[in-house]
Each structure stands twice: as structure tokens, then as C-alpha cells.
Amino acid sequence: FCILFYSAYFLILFSIFYYLFLFFSFCYGSQEKSQRSPPSAPINLLSSVNGTTVTLEWAPPLDKGGRQDVTYNVICHRCTWGGGHCESCGPRIRFLPQQMNLAQGSLSISNLLAHTNYSFSVESVNGVSDLSFQSPRFVAVNITTNQAAPSQVTAIDQQNVGQNSVTLLWSQPDQPNGIILEYEIKYYEKDKEMQSYSTLKSKANRTTVFGLKPATRYIFQVRARTSAGCGKFSEALEVETAKATFLLFFLPSIFLTIRRFGQQGRECCHSQLCPSSAHNRHCGYSKAFQDPDEEKMHYQNGQESKFYLDSHTYEDPCQAAHEVMREIDASRIKIERVIGSGESGEVCYGRLKIPGKREVPVAVKSLKPGYTEKQRRDFLSEASIMARFDHPNVIHLEGVVTKSKLMMIVTEYMENGSLDSFLRKHDGQFTVLQLVVMLRGIGAGMRYLSDLGYVHRDLAARNILINGNLVCKVSDFGLSRVLDDNPDAAYTTTGGKIPVRWTAPEAITFRKFSSASDVWSYGIVTWEVLAYGERPYWNMTNQDVIQSVEEGYRLPAPMGCPVALHQLMLNCWQKEPEERLRFSQILGILDKLIRNPQNLKCTATLNRFTQTLSERSHIDFTHCSSVEEWLDSIRLGRYQENFALGGYSSLGMVMHMNIE
């Protein structure tokens, strides 16, 4: 009995320990298993494309495998358009901060090719993923990059150097991002870039620059251009031309020969029979070939020089137009109504049928029947200029119609028309911040044109178009909107009409147009915007405007205008061109005001307004018996009520406004 009792007792104890062992083994094994599981795939993968840069963001996996050491790897593949074949992206792609072992759920991928399909896979791994027989779990996304400008030209070298010429050779950009349309060569004398520089175009990656000075150091830079825009200029290449070796007694005959050829060249340009040279340089655009009398082609101030695009140097301006823009079949345009008219044509609203897409609204500018040859050339000149621009704040050209009886320029349609008319129609309906955003758009467009080396010469609110989203775009690059039968509309000097109220003093007096003169005009546009389309200088004659500006008079701040914006105008109206703001500086000021709108709350006072007036030396109070009469004498009678509300009821009080 005892033996049976102890046997049963030990059997029960053994069973208890055995089952306890199995229980703890099961629990331990489950925990051990959970510590060795790879994670599941990441979730919520998002992508954004900006040109040739992609940003990826994702959330952690739902199952981390019981571990906290989850990291991520990003795999890149470049795919064909059909999606049937994909290959590794290669080492040129740049991943920020890194491609493998990412701790956070985001990265940026750059140096991608333009207009290319890519597939990106984001893997999640942990410390035991390498021990698993399964491939890492991943989530994938397919994207297509956008159009982008070419990369920088990295290799430029001299091939031949003469006394008056240099032959250059360069390589194609590493990333052309499309078909290279042309190369732009910029050159200038060393340390004189700010005074003057020249540019020329080349279809090939080799060109010869002529017209240089002997024994002079020049700086050369090259950049490529595609339909998406221009890339960055290459690093500067410094080249010194050879010394002159001819004998002194040859100089008179050489001088006469050069002068004779120079006169023939000018006759060629003036008769518009300038064929393209073997080096793809357009007649009249290079400083080295510039005659001082040819100011109409190359205006220069002491600070910078700019070059105008001029299709008149072609025998047929259609040649210039077709080199840079596309011809539209007239049958694809459906004109619905007239929305404006000008000196030589009409502007209509229409719809353009684009193959494979729906119709898009367009503005169609057409020449009236019976146009002159000059009007035809001016018409095509404007189109050829517009075709070279691609910026959200510059009007976009869809194309031209030149093979039809009715010649047309087709541009994007801007629902709200010209800015001055739009503001007059909606007087006082916008906040100051909204007006500043409009000005910022105009400034961005002008900086773009200035950076390209173009001078507008006719910047005014009437030449700014505004769409339904209140986006302002610079327009009118050649056709004057001023009618011939309006004698007060423009001031005429040798070489053509000038819109006096918007034009800088040096441009009126000496016809020196530059980016600085455009900045002056931008200051007038700023005044127009803050004054809701009011006419600058009101009913003053052009001669009065010229005289007043020369004497130091500047437009007063419009009613309710912030001090910061009026100061911006005054900085645009500095008498010396080099003292005016640059468009890049103007954008910086406007951006700060947009970020800090509280700085727009301080408005210009009546005291500030009249101080500007009292500085005019020719104002004579002795011939006036009242404030009203004095205001009428200086053509500011519209402000009589404001003076009365300010308590200035006598001329004596007005005379002491500066002291107060």
C-alpha cells in the first residue's frame, strides 16, 4: 500500500511539473517568435512632384514585429512609358537624407530625368528581417516627373584666340531634360559686367565671337535653353585676346575699310536685310558691333545694358516669328465676340481647339484689313518677343496665324481684362494685402524679363492683364495702345512715342531705357494700383509732368496708402537710375509685407502728402486767396474736401504744415 501511495504521489508531482514545463515553454516560445518577426509594409505612402524632384512621405507599419528598431529602404526604378520594363535608376539620383536605413518616414529624391516614369518602393525592415526567408514588405508608388530646364553647362573651353575673336567649344549639359533649342553665350570685359555685357545665340555647341578688343581679358559663360526655359550659366571662362601686330602706316587704310564696312552694315540693318551670320549672331545685338548712333537697338546707362529682341532685322518678320513660335491653323479658332480695339486692330474672345483636348478660351488680337507694312512688322515683332517668355506672371502666347488673310496673335484669355479698368470698376473693394499680392505678381514678371535682359519700355496698369483668380500678368510687348488722334497720350521724341507719365526722366530726355527705367514705371504702376486705376498726374499736361518731375515733384500717396508702399514708390522714383531699387529688391520688400501684414496698417498722412507739394519751388501763394484756389492752381482740386476735413481752412495753416 505504501509503495502504491508514493508511486501515485510522485506520478502526480511529475505530471504537474511536466504540464508547468509545457506551459512556460509555450509562453516563452510565443514571445521568442514575436521578437523575431519582420514588420509589415509601411502605410499611407504619399508623393509630390516638383519638376524633377520627388518628395515621399509614409506612416509606420501597423505590425512592427514586436520590435522598435524599424527602419526603411527606398528602391528606385525608371520605367518605360508602357510600363513593361523597369530598370534601376542608377547612381546619379540623389536621396536626402539617405536612401537606406531611414529612421523617419520621409525623404526627397532629386536629379531625376524630366518627363520620365519612375516607380518607388518603400521597404520596412527591423533587426530580424535578414533572418527571415521572406522578402521585406513594401509599398510602392508610380510617378511621372514634370518638364524642367536643362542642367548647367559644366565644360567650356577656348579653341582659337585671335586679336578680335575667340572660338569657344563646350559640352552638352549632363541633364538636358529635353531637346536643346539653342545655347546662349554671355561675354563681357573682365570686371565690367555691371557696365555692359553682350549675348549671342548658337544652335551648335561651338561658336566664334567676333568684334573683341585686342589684348583684352574677356569673361565667357554659356547656358542651354529648352522649351522649359534656360539652365544656369556655366562657370566663367577667362580668355585674353591676342595683341595687335599690324604696322602703324597701315592704320589709315584699315580705318577707312572698317568705316566703309560699318556704313554698309548699318545700311543693311536699316533696310532690314540682315542675314544670319555663320556664327548665329543677330545683327545689332552685340555691343562689339554697336555704333553709337544705333541707340534704338542698344540702350545703356551707367549700370547695366539690355538688349531688345527686334524681328525687324529679318528680311521677312515671319521668319523671326516662325523660329520661336508655332503656327495655328485658322480653322481651329472660333471667334465669339470683340472685347477691345486698338490703333491697328481688334482683340476678340474666342476658343481654340487643341487636338486631343477640349477647347480652351483665348484672346485673339488681329490686324485690321488694309494694314501697312510697318504695322505688319510691329505685329509680328510683338509675337516673336512673347514667344520667348514662359512665366506665370507674363502673358502666355498660344501661337500665331500668319498664313491666313487675317493675321492673328493668340494668347491665353484673361477674364478681368486690363488692370486699370478692372480696378476702376471695383474701386475700394479689395484689401491692401490683396493689392500687394497683385503688385507682387507684376514684380515677379518684371524680374523675370529683367533677368532675361529685356526692357519693357511701356509698363503701365493698362498693359497688365488680370485673370479670374486675380493673377496679374505683364503684357503688350510691342504694339502701342495709344491712338494717334490723342495728342496728349504720348510724348514724341526722335525715335518714337514715349508714354510720359510712366517713363523715367533719362528715358524721356536721352532715350536711355534700362531695367532702372522699368523700375520707375513699376513705381507708377504701384501708385495706379493703390489709387484704383486713377490717372497718374491727373489732368496735368505732358510738358507739366516733365517739368514737375525734373523739379523734384513726386506723386503723393493715394488715400489710405500704407507708408511702406509709398516709400517703395519713392525708391523707384530716384532721379539717378543706379539709386533705384532692383526688381529682386522690390520682390523682397513685398514678400516681407505679405508675411507681416501688420506693417501695412500705418497709412500715409495728409501731412506727408502736402510736404511733398510744399517742396515745389514754383508754388506761389500770393496769387491765391483760398485753399481751394491754391489746390486748383496746382491741379489737385479733388483734395479740397480732404483739406477741409483735416482742418486746413486757410493758406496760413497750409504754409505751416511742415512745421507741424
What DSSP state is assigned to residue 79?
E
Give the residue-averaged pLDDT of 551-559.
Answer: 91
Residue 312 pLDDT greater than 70, yes or no:
no
User: Cell triple for residue 589?
Assistant: 520688400
Segment 139-143 shows an average pLDDT of 90
Type of residue numbered 537: Y
Report the share of the chain in percent with pLDDT over 90. 33
DSSP string, 137-183: PEEEEEEE-----------EEEEEE-SS-EEEEEPPPS---S---EE
Rounded CA separation 308/298 (Å): 7
Q: Is the pLDDT of residue 471 over 90?
A: yes
Q: Indicate the range of 251-255, 551-555, 646-650 predicted with least confidence.
A: 251-255
Q: In this predicted structure, what is the pLDDT of residue 370?
A: 78
Residue 168 neighbours by CB distance under 10 Å: 22
Per-residue pLDDT of 79-115, as tens digits, reads 886 666 889 998 889 999 999 999 999 999 988 887 7
For 250-279, what is the mean pLDDT?
Answer: 36
Q: Is 591 a catalytic residue?
A: no
Confidence band for 569, pLDDT divided at 50, 70 and 90: very high
- The pLDDT assigned to 258 comes to 37
Give the chain's largest Cα–Cα span: 147
Examine residue 97 and say whether the peptide bond preceding it is cis (omega within 30 degrees of 0).
yes
CA separation for the pair 556, 579 (Å, rounded): 20
pLDDT tens track for 174-228 = 888 778 888 999 888 888 765 667 778 888 889 989 888 888 999 999 999 887 7
pTM recorded for the entire structure: 0.48
Angle, helices 563-572/515-530, rounded to nearest 10 degrees: 150
CA nearest neighbour of 228 among 390, 463, 415, 6: 390
Average confidence (pLDDT) over 257-272: 36
Neighbouring residues of 374: CB distance < 8 A, sequence distance ≥ 6: none
**The dihedral of CA 563, 568, 570, 571: what is its sign?**
positive
Lowest mean pLDDT among 233-237, 484-488, 559-563, 567-571: 484-488
378 pLDDT more than 60: yes
What local confidence, expressed as pLDDT, does residue 306 receive? 34
Cell 516733365 belongs to residue: 546
CA atoms of 568 and 523, how far apart (whole Å): 7
Provide CB contacts within 8 A for 156, sequence distance 6+: 168, 169, 170, 171, 220, 221, 222, 234, 235, 237
Mean pLDDT throughout 476-499? 47
Judged against a pLDDT cut of 90, whether residue 287 lies above it is answered with no
What's the confidence (pLDDT) of residue 640?
74
Mean pLDDT of the chain: 77
List of residues 6+ apart from 21 with CB closer than 8 A: none
493 vs 464, higher pLDDT? 464
Q: State the average pLDDT over residues 322-326.
A: 60
Cα-trace Rg, the chain:
35
The residue type at 422: F
What is the structure's pLDDT at 197? Answer: 72
Average pLDDT over residues 458-478: 91
Most trustworthy range by pLDDT among 132-146, 161-175, 516-530, 606-620: 516-530
Torsion of CA 332, 337, 339, 344, to 10 degrees: 70
Residue 519 and residue 581 in contact, taking contact as beta carbons nearer than 8 Å: yes
Positive or negative, the CA dihedral 230, 235, 236, 238 is: negative
The neighbouring-strand residues paired with 225 are 182, 230
Query: What's the mean pLDDT in 383-388?
Result: 83
Residues 334 and 351 sit within 8 Å (Cβ to Cβ) = yes
Res 50: pLDDT: 77
**Segment 445-468 mean pLDDT:** 91
15-24, 265-274, 649-658, range with greatest mean pLDDT: 15-24
Q: Name the grid cell of 219.
A: 569673361
Give me the percent of the chain exceeding a pLDDT of 70. Answer: 73
Helix (H) / strand (E) element for 75: namely strand 71-79
Q: Which residues share a beta bridge with 198?
A: 187
What average pLDDT does this structure show over 330-356?
A: 85
Which range has highest mean pLDDT (173-187, 323-337, 517-531)? 517-531
- Would you call the peptide bond into 91 cis, given omega within 30 degrees of 0 as the criterion? no
Q: What is the pLDDT of residue 439?
A: 97
What's the grid cell of residue 33?
517568435
Question: Which member of 420, 458, 476, 518 is catalytic?
Answer: 458
DSSP symbol at 418: B
Asked if 268 and 262 count as a contact pair (C-beta separation under 8 A), the reply is no
64 is in an annotated binding site: no
Does the structure show a pLDDT above 50 at 611?
Answer: no
Which residue spans within 370-484 are E strands per DSSP? 397-401, 408-412, 464-466, 472-474
Q: Count the residues in the chain.
A: 660
CA–CA separation, 500 and 16 (whole Å)? 108
